Amino acid sequence: MGLKPGNHTVQMDVDPEFFACFPESEIQNAKGVMDVILEYSETTMTLRLALDITWRVPCGRCLEELTYPLKVEDKIAIRFGEKTEYNDALWILSKNEFELDLSQTIYELAHLARPPHQVHENESECDPNMLGYTSNDLIEESKKLTDPRWDALKNLK
């Protein structure tokens, strides 16, 4: 790869346009950076990743915008091999691989860091004018989540 041994640091911008490339992404309106440090020596190569972005998402109860910091770090060992292979903590790159595509990794790290529920911690913090409006939607939503196959399982006792 023509790299000198040592640490090589890159900072990548992460913005809503990035997440727009993943239509299935739960996270859309987020912005921040990913710091990438490549520790390179004659024999080993390690990627240290630190994602630090801010996610804006409407509260699931009242739709008021909430802000969550999504911070997560990861470490990936890199080795050279016959063919390129991406595993969780070890990437094997074929010798003619020159570029690392980190977009899938950024996407996955961001989703790992997100809180399980995006609502105001206390219902009293919610916008009272909006509550009546959205609670019906939520009930509709939870009806949809009931899979008819589960109903069949209930009768199996």
d(CA 108, CA 86): 13
Nearest distance from residue 139's CB to Zn ion, in Å?
Answer: 16
Q: Which is nearer to Zn ion, 78 or 126 (CB)?
A: 126
Under DSSP, the state recorded for 31 is: E
Q: Which is nearer to Zn ion, 22 or 68 (CB)?
A: 68
Q: What is the dihedral of CA 77, 79, 12, 88, to 10 degrees?
A: -50
What is the contact surface with Zn ion in residues (CB under 5 A)? 59, 61-62, 120, 126
Under 8 Å between Cβ of 21 and 28:
no
Please give the helix or strand (H or E) that residue 143 lies within, else none. Answer: helix 128-145
Q: Which is nearer to Zn ion, 80 or 133 (CB)?
A: 133
Q: Which is nearer to Zn ion, 57 or 61 (CB)?
A: 61
Nearest distance from residue 120's CB to Zn ion, in Å?
Answer: 4
Nearest distance from residue 68's CB to Zn ion, in Å?
Answer: 13
Nearest distance from residue 35's CB to Zn ion, in Å?
Answer: 32
- Reading the block at residue 53, the tokens are 């972005």
